[in-house]
Amino acid sequence: MPSCGEILGAWRGTRERIGVRTGTGPVLVTDAGSSSLRLTVFGDDGEVLSEHHSDSPPGDSAPGSLRQLLREGPAPVAVGHRIVHGGPGAAGHALIDDEERARLDRVAELAPLHVPQALSVVDAARDLLPDVPHVACFDTVFHSGLPDAAREYAVPARWREAYGLRRYGFHGLSYAWALARTAELLGRRPEHLQMVMVHLGGGCSACAVREGRSVDTTMGFTPLEGLVMSRRSGSVDPGALTWLLRRRGVSADEIEDALNHESGLLALSGTSGDTRDLVRGRAAGDQRAALALDVFTHHCRRGIAGMAASLSRLDALVFTGEIGEDQPEVRDEVCARLSVLGLTGGLRPVVAERPEIVSAPDARIPVVVVPTGEAQQIDLETRALLARTV
């Protein structure tokens, strides 16, 4: 396989040949979930040139999906890969050479449901596109500067030092995109803003941003901590889990699977982890659907209020993620009962697929909705890293 220097030299030559001053040419973005794969090729202006989405585990389907995309769309000159967990040493996004690839294997156990699947796509893409640079874009990087008070768990030092047991935070690519779009919408620079952002989707978290930096977040060592999610439990008393292990003989594997796949909205409602289904069910009189939504919005409010405690003022509340963008009932119920933070309900629905202020013009705290932009952020981060490298 060519060295990083050879690959970057080829990339530089490609950029010069296509005559782009600030862009690189088409960039392929890969986003591998535990049971899905999304591939998108972006042009220099951020336009989508081609895309592919599969709802099957990416390990087996990745080579075929990549070949199909490459046959049908423009040849990428770089590839950006979403990697959920960068591990304790990842303070920035990274060019994937053989050394970095080996390091990613060592940190994969920190997010076993996500990173191994993403690495299978990385390997398939590097095999098919060996002569272009590949960049790992980590969800944890946005939170890499967390203050000690927000980062450390109150557990024995030997666990923290030997195992890297600390709070990492996730959804960082989504937050980076939402932060920039909110700053543009409000006509202020990111470093002049203090706000709470909430990513609500299959996974859910909240984040406190002070002067453009993450200073607290609800997810921790894994993407399981924090808010109630679609099929994930969110935070549960660890004593309850050790009780299940020791007193009821529930295995660690069973607990892990249940907390990640059989909990959250699905467990509370008994029918669905999709808030759209639950809103319809509640309207039809389904009490378990109503309970699921009540628990979900309660935990959202608690998470938002907790994040606000890390700020000295609140300039905006930002919703992103599929639920945050598409579920006005959830947004309204969250805000209507956060009057302690100066928020109110009565939000208007989103009318366009672009960042919007949905609170009233005279609202004390603007409420902003930003469509999810993780893939777009990976495109930007990949181009930025390669521009710095060469």
Question: Alpha-carbon distance 146 to 94, whole Å?
Answer: 20
Annotated active-site residue in 98, 127, 131, 139: 139
| Residue 19, Cβ density class (10 Å: 0-12 exposed, 13-18 middle, ≥19 buried) | exposed
Q: Give phi and psi for 213, each to the nearest 5.
A: -125, 145
Q: 3-class SS at 71?
A: helix
**Angle between helix 98-107 and helix 115-128 axes, rounded to 10 deg:** 160
Using CA atoms, how far apart are residues 361 and 39, in angstroms rounded to an integer? 38
- DSSP letters, 275-341, are HHHHHHHHHTT-HHHHHHHHHHHHHHHHHHHHHHTT-SS--EEEEEHHHHHH-HHHHHHHHHT-GGG
Is 97 one of the annotated active-site residues of the chain?
Answer: no
Structure token pair of residue 384:
């930025």
Helix (H) or strand (E) holding 214: strand 213-217
Residue 276 one-letter amino acid: R
- Listed residue (313, 358, 298, 299) closest to 208, CA to CA: 313
Quote the CA–CA distance of 323 and 320 in Å, as a whole number: 7
Catalytic residues, which ones? Answer: 139
